[in-house]
Structure 1
Amino acid sequence: LISPSVTDPSPTHTSKQDPNPEENVMSPSPPLTSQQNLKLFFFLSDNDKAVIGFLVFLILVTSLALLFVLYKMFLLKRKRSAEDEEIPLTRIVEPIYAEGLVEAYVSKIADESRLFMDEFQSIPRIFSNYTIKEAKKQDNQSKNRYVDILPCKYHSSFHKEISINNSSCKPKKYIAAQGPKDETVCDFWQMVWEQKSSIVVMVTRCEEGNKIKCAQYWPSLDRETEIFDDFVVKIRSEQHCPDYTIRHLILNNKREKASEREVTHIQFISWPDHGVPGDPCLLLKLRRRVNSFKNFFSGPVVVHCSAGVGRTGTYIGIDAMIESLEAEGRVDIYGYVAKLRRQRCLMVQVEAQYILIHTALIEHNQFGETEVSLSEFHSALNTLRQKDGSDPSLLEMEFQKLPKFKKWRTFNTGSSEDNKKKNRYSDVIPYDFNRVLFRLDIEGNQTSDPEDEDEYSSDEEEESNEYINASFIAGYWCHKSLIAAQGPLPNSMAEFLLMLYQQQTKTLVMLTDCQEDGNDYCCQYWGDEKKTFGDMEIEVRKTESFPTYVRRHLEIQSTKVSRKTDVLEVDQYQFLKWKGRGLPENAQELIEMIRVIRENGNYDNSRMNRNIPMVVHCNNGSSRTGIFCALWNLLDSAYTEKLVDVFHVVKNLRKERQRIVETIEQYQFLYTALEGAFPVQNGAVKTPPANDTTQVINETTALLDEPNSTSGADQKEAEESKAAESSEQEAKESSTAEAPPAEGEKPSTTNGPAATVEL
């Protein structure tokens, strides 16, 4: 404010020249007093005064505004703290380190899961007292599927004046939402658009137990396009897998020109109506599929079931805790569930879901991710095979991690005194939970729907005193799509044929000779002429010999049923190149026979055929049978999803029957077979083409229309009778193999196999 051009008007000042100017210049000027500064202010112009006043006013207003904002932030923080502490946790549960997951689980699951129950019930069902006035407004009440599950305002997503029942989980990585109702489908898509979400995870069916759980908010393949107010949803593709369906959608907003977004919709369909999935690997696989579609720029992942709390909270909990386990080496499941409930009430709704999070983490921590895409299979296999000196290879270490599941289930029926004589080997007895049941009363059984196989209740099990050494094996598509059986004994021939008859088996696979190295591996249950065993008759109608296998067309009938329509037609495939206790010399010969079975049995296109169990037997129903079943499931996965998981397939088979894939050589054989089935050509893995048509050709009927050819009593006679035709058959088979019929992905239809998955 002080300017050197301003003079002091004091009367003591004189204009007389100083005799010593240099001394006068160097001497400091005396400071101005406050009275002098005030006098100087009055000498300023009006404009200068206005500028100074405005600056002073601006500083004061800014200071007051800053103080007001800080005060409000303090009040809000104190309010949040008070609300969170209003219902404090009654227990302190320490985080679990990775190496202690199994020990913690074992201690908590003991005594009928008492510790799990106490721990889960100590988490308040509803934490926060944030207002739910918006959700309770008259206009929004119809948008809530359940009156007791409402989003609080602090965590709700509000779009203009639209409210939808959902909650964003901090830091907005997920949106937990209820299943859209017909009234909220438009709101749902507006939320997806505004939040820039590119993935929607649906953990329910639209209808379960005759109850509507969620509206279908996407178009079917028949309609292709659906319009919901300002949003146009188109379906680009739909892929059906056993446990989930992946849909690629295109979302357009009419109000924004030239705007189009891709949304991946993944619907998990294997959650049972009651309880939780029995295998946590199903949810781990779902998580891998979801993560494969994530990108850095997309918004939060939308997860919903019906209410948006139970299954939704379980999936979010598993995903978040796996990330925590990988980043920190420990997990706080108890604390995270409490955190979820602070943001949305009742997240992880029941104790079984809370336990499922623990088992999923144990599975992930113990075994890791062993799934490999076909495009990376060869490079991954090379890595697994590499050895460093005397240390085991990664492939050997992977095999050593396989659980043995010894005595994890009971086998009381097969080990009873009455049934011991029906077992070929004392160390391979079917478990009680999945042994094949049948009755001597067969009238009308053959006409039952194979999809109703689960209706064979526990009451029927008590009434059934018949026993056969055979186990149901879960296939890729269906829970009971395979039956692993021992080679029939003289005292079990009738039961073996009766099992085929009652299960309506269309395909029978035999992996042994009747005798090998002087040992009896299987009684011959067929012959040149009709044979009778008990009440069952079997006749060979046609025999075809090939270099590596024999195909016989069998007819099985009960003497108690005289109707021609009750004759069961079965195609038997006997593999000839598996001798002794070793492995097939050429894995591709076994793969080729599997390809022929898939083609002739129409297993790729027919949902009905996949639901009818295929019977596979060797001498004990485990060693060779286990390898065949593993390859069958692996090829199904490869053709459908372009993915294989040898470790997981073998682990599941070991749960269902003893002595399956016991040696490292058998385990390596599975990898070798897949390596040859999907060779690398021009830098890419060659896979069969996708099906272009769903036309079904009944080759079995065509064979029956032909004249009967020579039938053999055993494989040697059959080979001799066809010796002259071997080269011709081989040439024909090779030409067929060069251009096999479609065996790729399943056709994208809304009536795909996903609707018949059993758990």
Structure 2
Amino acid sequence: MEQQHRQWQKQCGRFRYLTAQPMAPGVLSSTPPLPPDTTCGAPRSVTICAFGTVASTSSPTATTSLAVGNHGIRHSDTMLAVKHQELQPTHVRKSLSSFFVNPLASGDAATVPTSSGSSSSSSSTSQPRIFEQLALNTISLGSLSQLEAPETPDANLSIEVTTNDDYWPWDNDEEEEEDGGGKSARHSDATVNTTVITSEAWPPRQIITSAYRLPVLTMPKRWKHKIAYRRFRFHAASADIKMFSNLRKKSSSDLNLVFDMFRGPSPTDRVSASTGNLHRRRKKISWQAMSPNHIQKQLHLVQEEKAMQAAPSQPIDAAKFVAYVTERRKKRILFKGEYLMIQRSIDMQKCRSDVASTMDDRNAYPDTLPYDYNRVILHTMPGDENSHYINASYVNSWVREKAYVVTQAVKTKAANAEFWRMIWELGSNCIVMLTKVFDFMRVMCAQYWPITSAQFGEIEVETLETKTYAHFVIRTFRLKRLDEYKGLESRIVKHFHFTEWELDSFPYISAFIELRRRVRQHTEKCFADAPIVVHCSNGAGRSGAFIALDANLELLKKTGQIDVFGYAKTMVNSRPNLVDSVDQYQFIYDALAEAILCNVQPIAMHRLKDRSSMYKAKKDRQVMEVQDNHENKLLIMLTPTLRIGDCAGGHRLENRGKNRDVMVVPPDHARPYLQTLHGESKDYTYINAVEVDGFTRKGEFIVTEWPKAATVDSFWTLVFDHGCHTIVNLSNQGNEKQYPTFIHNKGKHTYGPFVVEILNYHQYPAITSHMVKIMKRTFMISEIMQSGSAQQQLEAEVRICCLIQVRMWPIENKVPLSTSGLIDMIKMARSWRKRAPDRPETKPTIVLSHNGVSRCGIFVAANVCIDQMDMDHEVDVFHAVKMIRINRPQLIDMKDEYKYLYDLMLHWYMTNPEYRAFDEREEEEKGLVENTSRPGSTRASVKSNKETRKNKVVYLN
């Protein structure tokens, strides 16, 4: 091979420069006149001009000839040319692997067709066939009108176009009118057309610029270095086979744009460069351009360009939106294409921040400044000429203008007073906060609200009520301001604080949708047409996600359509960075798709009869069965799938024996880690248990399986380390070999480093209860040294917990025989949590069954629904089940346990008279509202009376 390489070098001599040669118009010659070698005094390179749009659009089959002059090979005056008969897309793809042609291949020169259609052979048959395959891969189809004529006699392009009746696969998407003969206009009889393009002065880059960004291939000048030749062979034959096979599948238009590379300096630039530096620089550029990574980057840019053209041009119907999002999830680059189009839509003339750029002390984030045309302007305060400025922007919705005000987080005491002054001047009654106060060792936002009451400038803020949920907190504020003309004014403002959105992550979509539902539930009751104030840490991405969700759902409510792309362009022209990443943009799509799918609203407590199986005989059984099946399918479809990587801890070799079922393993981000050293396992932190969120607190429950003989110590370690005061056992197993006893009726028992003592034991018809004291044994080193043994110990860190076990639930039944026994268990567990020491309401409740899946879901979901009934006087079984299945997808059997939950909730409602009393008051108030048409009664007065009774608030207007 090396000998062939040396022979080839000797034959070619000074392998310098090769480009298209001059020809007379309309004539193709195999022996054109060659300029003297002195025309290229600087070191030259082999250059091929690849024209990407050289075939007529009216031809089913194209034969293209490219005349290439060869005046770099000194001993030959031969005109090399390339030709490809019956060019088809498959040929282009198959020949792609030969794009980097081995220069040592030898063979006959290609033939060149003349203007009359005949072809002439090369005068020499020993020249290397360097450009044959290369040209085949750079020729593509297009329109001759898109190819500008060269401007110099140094280049000619000869195109021979032959049309026939063959099917043309690249034009099958275009519809053309048929002529009188019944054939398409482009399927005419065979004809031959030859076109020669000539001009006066032409550098190759000009024609390439006019033909879409097509490639100029520059190959190294000499192959005298062995390492250079080997690197070339590596890239040509064995570089990233998978990537090249993917490229073969691309269309011809993609390939023309992908291979826009190998651009070197022009001849003029090369004259001024030194010879040595030129060699090194050209080699470096050539090898970098020929690398697979570079080609892959170029292909990715092409795909982005095509994805931008696929952006939607009109709103999408709600019936098609879920399918639209599902299809786009398969090709994530389509989301990126829309995102890039959104960024390009920013009107730089309109979106200027001249005023904000001069207020450095009032901007916590200099990269997020409000635009001048829509910024919020406050009243100027005496003595402060800049008090009119605050970093806040108006944003329109689809329904009305200035529907939202997006601002940054409060960081200083001065900004705190400005924030509340803005709330007062805007007349807003709703604040949405989408960041934590403290997140990952960073202060994201100051706590700008008081615990009880505080004065901020001229405004007094008083906290009336605080409701804490698992993923957000709802606060009610009363704002007071003394006006010299109006006297004392008072307003009520709701504050929705979303605590689920952590830094560099995305929240549960269900929780995000629920927050928006509660915000709209509040604003629809308010009659003031004031904007919703939304803020995160910098007033950018998270705020944009919320208002995009809200605005599109409002559009859906009005028109039945959704336009994420159109509204995103509105947002980025209203405030910088409201759509700050592709991930956030896709999150908006996912949230809207789930909101459309899960359009299951909470129901009033008195309507539980409509969903209970005990009353279905009196109702339309078929309709209720259809609704249950629909909800079951949605829950199965929306339940996340845990991968092995998500549950890596449970699949480790030392932990496999701690699992009863290898398919029921907790995810690492939601499993409780043990802290006390126990046992002989290498990983003493693992137990097959998972944290499940409740309605009012995250990680309110720990769901686990019946401990094995080797994990009983781990079970009591879990109880002690996590301070659990309540243990609910939903199984009553009799096989002690398979399900060993971990609790006794009396006495003390030692489990690893813990001593468990039974304080009392009670047995009821349906349940049993154990009062347990857990003591952790700790050794004193001084006592061990004195006694010479480890018998001396110190008992400390005592825990008191209550273990409640069900009795009337047969092993073979998926649900209990009745609801009474489980209702008693729930009441006892909730009662103990309220009166146990050490604030047990902040500690998790352990729920276990024989396999950690069956029965546990019923108890957890029932408690979630009961808390919802207590706080909001409504029930949402669907979303309760959906939430608890996030960390353990196997919870709740869709056939039996899901239906049983409605019966259980109805029983709970019927046994609590305070619920029925609340419903009666609601009916009375509803009747008052319906009778507002009577003289002397107004809707505003009824609402004022209702709010006064609820919050004990007196409006002083």
Instruction: Report the TM-score range of the alignment, normalised by the length of the smaller protein.
Output: 0.5 to 0.7
Q: Deviation of residue 212 (structure 1)?
A: 4.6
Match in the other structure for 2:763: 545
Determine which of 741, 766, 788 is the counterpart of 1:524: 741
Q: Deviation of residue 309 (structure 1)?
A: 1.9
Q: Deviation of residue 490 (structure 1)?
A: 3.3
- Per the alignment, do residues 680 and 117 of structure 1 end up closer, same or farther by CA in structure 2, a change over 3 Å counting? same
Match in the other structure for 2:391: 165
* Structure-2 separation of matches of 1:401 and 1:345: 37
Q: Work out whether 1:599 is the aligned partner of 2:831.
A: yes
Determine which of 280, 297, 302 is the counterpart of 2:533: 302
Q: Deviation of residue 634 (structure 1)?
A: 2.2
Q: Work out whether 1:472 is the aligned partner of 2:691.
A: yes
Determine which of 564, 573, 587 is the counterpart of 2:795: 564
- Per the alignment, do residues 302 and 651 of structure 1 end up closer, same or farther by CA in structure 2, a change over 3 Å counting? same
> Could you report, residue by residue, the CA deviation over 1:34-54 in whole angstroms, capped at 9, with x for unpaired residues?
xxxxxxxxxxxxxxxxxxxxx
Q: Deviation of residue 336 (structure 1)?
A: 1.3
Q: Deviation of residue 553 (structure 1)?
A: 1.8
Q: Work out whether 1:135 is the aligned partner of 2:345.
A: no
1:261-340 matches, cutoff 5 A: 261-294=490-523, 295-340=526-571
Q: Deviation of residue 603 (structure 1)?
A: 7.7
Q: Name the SS of the counterpart of 1:601 in structure 2.
A: helix
Q: Deviation of residue 681 (structure 1)?
A: 8.4
> Could you report, residue by residue, the CA deviation over 1:335-366 in whole angstroms, capped at 9, with x for unpaired residues?
21111111112113233322221121121111
- Per the alignment, do residues 150 and 469 of structure 1 end up closer, same or farther by CA in structure 2, a change over 3 Å counting? closer
Match in the other structure for 2:704: 485
1:120-519 matches, cutoff 5 A: 120-124=339-343, 127-130=347-350, 131-137=352-358, 140-161=359-380, 162-170=388-396, 171-180=401-410, 181-209=412-440, 211-221=442-452, 224-229=453-458, 231-242=459-470, 243-258=472-487, 260-294=489-523, 295-374=526-605, 386-387=619-620, 389=622, 392-403=625-636, 405=639, 407-410=641-644, 411=647, 414=650, 422-425=658-661, 428-431=664-667, 433-438=669-674, 441-442=677-678, 464=683, 468-515=687-734
* Structure-2 separation of matches of 1:406 and 1:218: 37
* Structure-2 separation of matches of 1:578 and 1:129: 72
Q: Name the SS of the counterpart of 1:368 in structure 2.
A: coil
Letter in 2 for 1:523: P
- Per the alignment, do residues 621 and 256 of structure 1 end up closer, same or farther by CA in structure 2, a change over 3 Å counting? farther
> Could you report, residue by residue, the CA deviation over 1:689-736 in whole angstroms, capped at 9, with x for unpaired residues?
xxxxxxxxxxxxxxxxxxxxxxxxxxxxxxxxxxxxxxxxxxxxxxxx
Instruction: Tell me if the contact between 2:404 and 2:531 (Cα under 8 Å) persists in the aligned partners.
Output: yes
Superposed CA RMSD: 3.7
Q: Name the SS of the counterpart of 1:550 in structure 2.
A: strand
* Structure-2 separation of matches of 1:475 and 1:499: 19
Q: Deviation of residue 211 (structure 1)?
A: 4.5
Instruction: Tell me if the contact between 2:308 and 2:340 (Cα under 8 Å) persists in the aligned partners.
Output: no
Match in the other structure for 1:625: 856
The total of aligned residue pairs comes to 574
Determine which of 810, 815, 824 is the counterpart of 1:583: 815
Letter in 2 for 1:398: E
* Structure-2 separation of matches of 1:547 and 1:354: 56
Letter in 2 for 1:343: S
Letter in 1 for 2:361: S
* Structure-1 separation of matches of 2:763 and 2:504: 50
Q: Deviation of residue 283 (structure 1)?
A: 1.6
- Per the alignment, do residues 354 and 549 of structure 1 end up closer, same or farther by CA in structure 2, a change over 3 Å counting? same
- Per the alignment, do residues 376 and 557 of structure 1 end up closer, same or farther by CA in structure 2, a change over 3 Å counting? same
Letter in 2 for 1:176: V
Letter in 2 for 1:409: R
* Structure-2 separation of matches of 1:548 and 1:312: 51
- Per the alignment, do residues 412 and 536 of structure 1 end up closer, same or farther by CA in structure 2, a change over 3 Å counting? same
- Per the alignment, do residues 237 and 556 of structure 1 end up closer, same or farther by CA in structure 2, a change over 3 Å counting? closer
Q: Name the SS of the counterpart of 2:373 in structure 1.
A: helix
Q: Deviation of residue 316 (structure 1)?
A: 0.4
Q: Name the SS of the counterpart of 1:356 in structure 2.
A: helix
* Structure-2 separation of matches of 1:257 and 1:668: 57
Q: Work out whether 1:639 is the aligned partner of 2:870.
A: yes
Q: Name the SS of the counterpart of 2:538 in structure 1.
A: coil
* Structure-2 separation of matches of 1:681 and 1:441: 45
- Per the alignment, do residues 418 and 332 of structure 1 end up closer, same or farther by CA in structure 2, a change over 3 Å counting? same
Match in the other structure for 1:697: none
Q: Name the SS of the counterpart of 1:539 in structure 2.
A: strand
Instruction: Tell me if the contact between 1:470 and 1:486 (Cα under 8 Å) persists in the aligned partners.
Output: yes
- Per the alignment, do residues 116 and 505 of structure 1 end up closer, same or farther by CA in structure 2, a change over 3 Å counting? same
Q: Name the SS of the counterpart of 1:525 in structure 2.
A: coil
Instruction: Tell me if the contact between 2:676 and 2:721 (Cα under 8 Å) persists in the aligned partners.
Output: no
Q: Deviation of residue 543 (structure 1)?
A: 1.0
Q: Deviation of residue 247 (structure 1)?
A: 1.6
* Structure-2 separation of matches of 1:210 and 1:415: 32
Q: Name the SS of the counterpart of 1:392 in structure 2.
A: helix
- Per the alignment, do residues 611 and 198 of structure 1 end up closer, same or farther by CA in structure 2, a change over 3 Å counting? closer
Instruction: Tell me if the contact between 2:420 and 2:456 (Cα under 8 Å) persists in the aligned partners.
Output: no
* Structure-2 separation of matches of 1:394 and 1:498: 44
* Structure-2 separation of matches of 1:174 and 1:406: 33
Q: Work out whether 1:612 is the aligned partner of 2:829.
A: no
Q: Deviation of residue 652 (structure 1)?
A: 2.4
Q: Name the SS of the counterpart of 1:615 in structure 2.
A: strand
Q: Name the SS of the counterpart of 1:631 in structure 2.
A: helix
Unpaired segments ≥5 residues, structure 1 = 1-88, 444-461, 689-747, 749-759
- Per the alignment, do residues 373 and 304 of structure 1 end up closer, same or farther by CA in structure 2, a change over 3 Å counting? farther
- Per the alignment, do residues 152 and 387 of structure 1 end up closer, same or farther by CA in structure 2, a change over 3 Å counting? same
> Could you report, residue by residue, the CA deviation over 1:120-164 in whole angstroms, capped at 9, with x for unpaired residues?
244328534345343345xx5433332332222221232344222
Q: Deviation of residue 565 (structure 1)?
A: 0.9
Instruction: Tell me if the contact between 1:245 and 1:266 (Cα under 8 Å) persists in the aligned partners.
Output: yes
Q: Deviation of residue 320 (structure 1)?
A: 0.8
- Per the alignment, do residues 207 and 557 of structure 1 end up closer, same or farther by CA in structure 2, a change over 3 Å counting? closer
Instruction: Tell me if the contact between 1:512 and 1:522 (Cα under 8 Å) persists in the aligned partners.
Output: no
Q: TM-score, normalised by structure 1?
A: 0.67
Q: Deviation of residue 167 (structure 1)?
A: 1.6
- Per the alignment, do residues 314 and 463 of structure 1 end up closer, same or farther by CA in structure 2, a change over 3 Å counting? farther
- Per the alignment, do residues 176 and 621 of structure 1 end up closer, same or farther by CA in structure 2, a change over 3 Å counting? same
Q: Name the SS of the counterpart of 1:668 in structure 2.
A: helix
Q: Work out whether 1:554 is the aligned partner of 2:782.
A: no
Q: Deviation of residue 424 (structure 1)?
A: 4.0
Q: Name the SS of the counterpart of 1:522 in structure 2.
A: coil
Unpaired segments ≥5 residues, structure 2 = 1-306, 381-387, 780-792, 920-950, 952-957
* Structure-2 separation of matches of 1:663 and 1:545: 32
* Structure-2 separation of matches of 1:244 and 1:633: 16
Instruction: Tell me if the contact between 1:678 and 1:686 (Cα under 8 Å) persists in the aligned partners.
Output: no
- Per the alignment, do residues 324 and 92 of structure 1 end up closer, same or farther by CA in structure 2, a change over 3 Å counting? farther
Instruction: Tell me if the contact between 1:475 and 1:481 (Cα under 8 Å) persists in the aligned partners.
Output: yes
Instruction: Tell me if the contact between 2:435 and 2:501 (Cα under 8 Å) persists in the aligned partners.
Output: no
Instruction: Tell me if the contact between 1:163 and 1:187 (Cα under 8 Å) persists in the aligned partners.
Output: no
Q: Which moved more, 1:665-674 or 1:576-585?
A: 576-585
* Structure-1 separation of matches of 2:847 and 2:652: 24
Instruction: Tell me if the contact between 1:264 and 1:293 (Cα under 8 Å) persists in the aligned partners.
Output: no
Instruction: Tell me if the contact between 1:480 and 1:611 (Cα under 8 Å) persists in the aligned partners.
Output: no
Q: Deviation of residue 436 (structure 1)?
A: 4.4
Q: TM-score, normalised by structure 2?
A: 0.54
* Structure-2 separation of matches of 1:412 and 1:246: 40
